[in-house]
Chain A
Amino acid sequence: MVPVMSRPAPISPAGYRSHTGRRARVAARTRLDFWLDAAILAGYTVAYSYGFTGVVIHEWLGIALGIALLLHLTLHWDWVVRTTRRLVSPRGHDKLIWLVNIALLVAMTLCVASGIAISRVALPELGIATLQSPFWFRLHVLTAEVTVGLVPIHVALRWRWIAGVGRRLLAWRPVRWPR
C-alpha cells in the first residue's frame, strides 16, 4: 500500500519526512534525488545539443536518459499517486506542477521512443532493426523541442527544494566531534 500524506514532505519531494529516527535514510534519499535529477538535467542538455555530441553519443545518452527517466518516475511514484488522488481539489501550484509533469512524461517518453525507432547507430550495433519512417523523425524533433521547453519549467517549479537541498549538500561545514 502506498502511504498517502496530507502535505508534501519537507525534505524530499519523494515523500519522506524528516523524522529523527529516519534522519540518515532521509539524507541518503534526498542526496540520491538531488544528484540523479542533476545528472538527468545535465544529460538532457548535452543530449539535446546534437551538434555538439554527434550521433553516437546522442543515441547512447538518449537510451541512458530513458532508463534514468524510468528510475526518476519510480523514485517519485509516491508523489504521482498522492497528487493524482488529490487532483479533485489540489492547490493551484500543485495542479500546475502535475500538468507540467504529465506533459513532460509524455513528451520525454515519446522523444526517447522515437529516438530508439530512428536509431542509426545504437540499435543496429545491437543487431536490432529500426523503423526509420518520416513520422518518427518528425515526432522525435517535435517532442525534443517540447521537452527542452518543459524540462527547465519542471526544474524551476521545484526551485525552493533545489535551493534548500543544494545549499545543504554543497555547503562546506567543519566536522564537530561530540565531547
Chain B
Amino acid sequence: MSVIKIKDLRKTYNETEVPVHAVNGIDLEFEKGEFAAIVGPSGCGKTTLMNMIGGLEEPTSGDVIVNGIDISKLSSKELIDFRLENIGFVFQAYNLIPVLKAKENVEFIMQLQKWDKRKMDERTISLLRSVGLGDKINSRPNQMSGGEQQRVAVARALASKPQFVLADEPTANLDSHATTQLLDIMKELNEEENITFIFATHDQRVMDKARRVITIDDGKVVSDVVKVNI
C-alpha cells in the first residue's frame, strides 16, 4: 500500500517575472517500509520536492497524498498538526535544541503530542539505546560529536512513530565512520519499525544503502531504480 502518492507535482518560483521551475511535473509513489534516496546535482529540485512531501512548501500545482490525505490542500495550521503526527525530519545540521539534553530533545515531540510521562520515558530511552546512545541520555548537544547529535536527531524523528521520515542530506556534516554508523542504525530502524525513510542526498554511501534510487534533474525524474537483493 502506498504511504505517499505524488501526482504531477510542480513548483515554480518567480511566476510573474523570470519563472524558475524547481519541480516540473513529478509522479512518484512510496510504499510502507521503503528505504529510498532522491539524488541529483545541486539545484535539481530534490530539496524542493522533499519540502513539498513534508508539507513545508506549498506546490504550485499537483497533489501530495499521504495515507489518503491530500496535504497540498491543508491549511498551514492543519499542516503543522499533520507533520507532528505523521512525519519525522532529520536535517543536515542536526537542529537539536542546544539547551536541552538528548533525552529532552527526543521527548520534545512526544510532549507536543501529550504522551503519558511513563510511556514517553520508556520510548525515549529505548530509542536512544537503539541509536547507540544509552550512555548519553543526559548529555547536551555541545557534549556530543556530530555523529552522536545526528543519531539523537534520528531518535527524535522516530519518537512520534511517524508514517515516514524525511532526511535531507543527513550525512553531509559527518565523517565516514559516523556516516556508516548512522546509516546502519537508520537501516536497522527501517527494518524493525517498518517506517519509510526518504533521503535527499549527494552521498554515494547513502545511495549504496538505499533499496531505491530516484534521480532528479531539472525538476523531473530521470530514473527510478529499485535494487534487487540489497
Report whether chain A binds chain B. no
